[in-house]
Amino acid sequence: MTRLVLLGPPGAGKGTQAALLAARLQVPAISTGDIFRANVAGRTELGLTVERYLDAGEYVPDSVTNAMVRDRLAQPDAADGFILDGYPRTTEQVRELDGMLAEAGAQLEHVLEITADTDELVRRLVARGRAQGRSDDTEDVIRNRQRVYAEQTAPLVQVYAERGLLRSVDGLGEVAEVTARLVAALEHVVDLREVQLPRTAQDAVSG
Ligand code: ADP
């Protein structure tokens, strides 16, 4: 059972790592950015609503994003765990996610932050824009996305750190290296739990 959130600025490699971790952990990777882009490409009602936000590098309004994620997490494949890539991104979304999970009697287990410095991020996104033609990978929009991340999403690092859920991992290096760091960070959490288990059991026995 893995309920995991991946945090990190645009270009940190969340999408790539989410897919690799999902295959390894046997849970779906859920990317709000991918879902929005698929809806834009498919000219759905949701796509028409969100297109201008994506193109400007602004966040889609919380009400729209939260409803979309609520639907997706209610799908059967997410019942036993998931990796969220790109959600939550605002403190309001954190509250919503807490509520959705509480209603299902579940809670978040891990938050992994992938870090990288701004110059590297911009460089990667400009390269991706050339290779894939993503409409929000132009230099102006990239800078706006970085700004929006710093203002609205970076504070979530502190929120999850205070809950003891956060592990930060360096996003520089080969893809496989970063994956190994993420897996090691997850195992570290598991190890800590194993250390604590016998003590808890003993406490229970000794009353
Ligand atoms: P990146 O992290 O590379 O910027 P994503 O694919 O995660 O890209 O997201 C692309 C765009 O989709 C964002 O710039 C934003 O417009 C929208 N989006 C994705 N997730 C959210 C979210 N949780 N809240 C609001 N908008 C979102």
Q: ∠ CA(70), CA(182), CA(200), 5° rounding?
A: 80
Helix (H) or strand (E) run with residue 48 in it: helix 45-56
Best mutation site among 60, 135, 140 for ligand 1 pocket (most ligand atoms within 8 Å of CB) = 60
The tens digit of pLDDT for each residue in 82-112 reads 999 999 999 999 999 999 999 999 999 999 9
Crossing angle of the two packed helices 45-56 and 139-148, in degrees rounded to 10: 100
- Residue 187 tokens, joined: 């195992």
- Percent of the chain scoring above 90 in pLDDT: 86
The tens digit of pLDDT for each residue in 142-174 reads 999 999 999 999 999 999 999 999 999 999 999
Check pocket membership of 36 for ligand 1, CB cut-off 6 A: yes
- CA separation for the pair 172, 154 (Å, rounded): 18
11 marked as binding residue: yes
pLDDT score, position 187: 87
Check pocket membership of 59 for ligand 1, CB cut-off 6 A: yes
Instruction: Confirm whether 14 is a catalytic residue.
Output: yes
Q: Say how many Å lie between the CA of residue 194 and the centre of ligand 1.
A: 36
pLDDT score, position 155: 97
Per the CB < 8 A criterion, the answer to whether 140 and 56 are in contact is no
Q: Say how many Å lie between the CA of residue 17 and the centre of ligand 1.
A: 16
Is the pLDDT reported for residue 191 higher than 70?
no
**3-state SS class at 7:** strand
Q: How confident is the model at residue 74 (pLDDT cuts 50, 70, 90)?
A: very high
pTM > 0.85: yes or no = yes
Helix (H) or strand (E) run with residue 53 in it: helix 45-56
Check pocket membership of 10 for ligand 1, CB cut-off 6 A: yes
How many residues are listed for the chain in this entry?
A: 207
- Residue 80 tokens, joined: 């036993």
Q: Which CATH superfamily is domain 2-184 in?
A: P-loop containing nucleotide triphosphate hydrolases (3.40.50.300)
Q: How confident is the model at residue 206 (pLDDT cuts 50, 70, 90)?
A: very low
pLDDT score, position 207: 42
Catalytic residue among 70, 123, 134, 167: 134
Q: Say how many Å lie between the CA of residue 32 and the centre of ligand 1.
A: 6
Enumerate the domain spans of the chain.
2-184
- CA separation for the pair 200, 26 (Å, rounded): 29
HEC-encoded secondary structure of 60-127: CCHHHHHHHHHHHHCCHHHCCEEEEECCCCCHHHHHHHHHHHHHCCCCCCEEEEEECCHHHHHHHHHH
pLDDT score, position 1: 72
